[in-house]
Amino acid sequence: MARPQTDIEAGRAELLEVVDDLIRKRGAVDISMSDLAAAAGMSPSNLYRFFDSKEALLEAVAERFFDEKVRIMVEVTESDLPVRDKMYEYFARRFVVMVEKYEAEPELLKSYLEIGQQYFEVVRGYVDLGDHYLALIVAEAMEQGYFTGLSIDEAVSLINQMVHCYTNPEAIIYIGVNKLRVEKLSRIIDAIFNGLGAQASARVTKEPHFKIVS
């Protein structure tokens, strides 16, 4: 997160650290404004100087959680990397950030993921933002002849499904970092660029055929 520029911003940053401490102690339990004020050693009225509502607090928590990922998305999409490398970096760098967070404090990450599920409407915008920046990379790739016959939305949807394990933090928990490696991700990105398109899809039957053996 960027260095605070005002006393209010500095106070908010300190309060978000208190939120971390509360979650470490209590897990993914709903935190009220009064709980936070008590833990921070301030009155509720003073707390409202920094966050005027619980919604504002939740938005600040989400912003800090996604801050580094958003910075990576902007840096990668604005870079001069070849488009294939750009897509790899787009997913790989954010995956590494998730792994580092998990390895540093696995229980804290799990708790934040549970809170994110409880307040998905708060984090939805960041999910949509990820699709927006991926669409920019897809559009650039299409200008170079990749993903022929697909719309941007179709390509984004297919790519998201193919790399889901590298974008879903829960996959790190349930599959494990030993199986999810950036080397494998690199091969997935190569497969996407080598084979994703309408012509490749046309060679596969649209509906599976089942043979029932009595």
Tell me: pLDDT of 4 over 80.
no
What is the rounded average pLDDT for all residues in the chain? Answer: 89
Is there a contact between 173 and 110 (Cβ–Cβ < 8 Å)? yes
> What's the CA gap between 164 and 204, in Å, rounded?
22
DSSP run (H or E) holding 29: none
pLDDT band at 198 (very low <50, low <70, confident <90, very high): low
Q: How far is CA 163 from the centre of its chain?
A: 12
pLDDT in tens, 75-117: 999 999 999 999 999 999 999 999 999 999 999 999 999 999 8
Given a cut of 70, is residue 200 above it in pLDDT? Answer: no
Note whether 189 and 88 are within 8 A (CB).
yes
CATH for 1-52 is: 1.10.10.60
Confidence grade of residue 205 (pLDDT, cut at 50, 70, 90): very low
Residue type, 45: S
d(C-alpha 4, C-alpha 102), whole Å: 25
Q: What is the DSSP string of 97-116?
A: HHHHHHHH-HHHHHHHHHHH
pLDDT of residue 202: 45
| 65-199 shares the fold of 1-52 | no
pLDDT tens-digit profile of 123-153? 999 999 999 999 999 999 999 999 999 999 9
pLDDT of 214 above 50:
no
Class of domain 65-199: mainly alpha
Angle, helices 7-26/54-77, rounded to nearest 10 degrees: 100
Q: What's the whole-number mean pLDDT along residues 180-184?
A: 94
Rounded to an integer, what distance in angstroms lies between the CA atom of residue 133 and that of residue 166?
Answer: 16
Length of the chain (residues)? 214
Every domain of the chain and the residues it spans? 1-52, 65-199
